[in-house]
Amino acid sequence: MAESESNRCGYCAIVGRPNVGKSTFLNATVGQKLAITSRKPQTTRHSILGVKTLKEGQVVFVDTPGIHQRGDHAMNRYLNRTAKTMLADVDVVLFIVEADRWNKEDEGVVEAVKKSGKPVILVINKIDLLKDKQKLLPFMEMLAGLHDFSEVIPISASKFRNIKDVEKAVLKYLPESENIFPEDQITDRPERFFAAELIREQLTRRYAKEIPYSVTVEIEKFVEEGNLYRIDALIWVERPGQKKIIIGHKGEALKEVAKQARLEMEQMFERKVFLNTWVKVKKSWSSDENALNKLGYFE
């Protein structure tokens, strides 16, 4: 891409409480699934870069875990730390809220973005779900009184509405600079990372509320053989009862999880995938800082 003197490039953190649509926005803006999604809070556990190259420059979006006030064990502290740490290292912040829904966790995010001292663009998501559209303007006015937001933009990430408006707004607050990443690159995460995330996505979507928070996935083998990936994945849970539920009767539940995850991988990687999965118990791994670190949970 021919770059001019006015080319802009930099980092933009996507922040907000859980379940406001941060990951859906990231996937919509880069035009490909990078972040796994579900209706359950705290589905996102890692920061993920999504690179959007435009005519006028390049925005490096950083999707972060939802900032929340739920529980105080090692995993909760890690998630909040990861999100808040990112605020110090970016050029602009995208604060996403849900249309006509506001709670104490949103208030906590406002305090965090205020402390960052960075330009903050307020994005009001899920406007398509707002039955009474007349509520939107008073809601925007209420939010405008909480902080001096650089811009306020209503969107629907799932319907791709006003996504380009957000991209253009973010670009204005980035420094003049050459692009950081090649034009055809959309993330810095390796395929091995996405393999683990796609398995965890299936587990998060399928099981009752308590199980997904006790599950993590570790890739033990990732081997390329021609047009085939051979992947061995280990699913860690915290209790024997959880292992039994995930495996299911005669292993049928685990087979279905592996099948759907494999299909998602084949679509993302654009090649055949041979996937083996096992389930093991590591007691209270999500409450143990050392265990989290060994399983890849570090900033």
Spatial separation of the C-alpha atoms in residues 52 and 39, rounded to whole Å: 25
DSSP class of 222:
E
pLDDT of residue 54: 95
DSSP class of 292:
H
Distances, alpha carbon 38 to alpha carbons 14, 21, 167, 200, 212, in Å? 17, 10, 24, 10, 11
With 0-12 / 13-18 / 19 or more C-beta atoms within 10 angstroms meaning exposed / middle / buried, residue 178 is exposed
SS3 113: helix
Q: What is the pLDDT of residues 32-52, one digit of tens each?
A: 999 988 888 778 888 899 999
pLDDT of residue 299: 55
pLDDT of residue 184: 93
The CATH superfamily label for domain 191-294 reads K homology (KH) domain (3.30.300.20)
**CA dihedral defined by 200, 202, 207, 209, rounded to 10 degrees?**
50
Under a CB-based contact definition with an 8 Å cutoff, are residues 172 and 7 in contact?
A: no
Spatial separation of the C-alpha atoms in residues 66 and 69, rounded to whole Å: 10
- CA 162 to chain CA centroid, Å, is 20
Per-residue pLDDT tens, the chain, 299 aa: give them: 444 468 999 999 999 998 899 999 999 999 999 998 888 877 888 889 999 999 999 999 999 887 766 656 677 777 777 778 888 889 999 999 999 999 999 999 999 999 999 999 999 999 999 999 899 999 999 999 999 999 999 999 999 999 999 999 999 999 999 999 999 999 999 999 999 999 999 999 998 777 878 899 999 999 999 999 999 999 999 999 999 999 999 999 999 999 999 999 999 999 999 999 999 999 988 888 888 888 877 65
Percent of the chain with pLDDT over 70: 96
Residue carrying the six token digits 């707004």: 169
Per domain, the residue ranges of the chain are: 8-172, 191-294
pLDDT of residue 210: 74
Other beta carbons within 10 angstroms of residue 145's beta carbon come to 7
The fold for domain 8-172 equals Rossmann fold (3.40.50)
Other beta carbons within 10 angstroms of residue 18's beta carbon come to 17
Spatial separation of the C-alpha atoms in residues 56 and 87, rounded to whole Å: 24
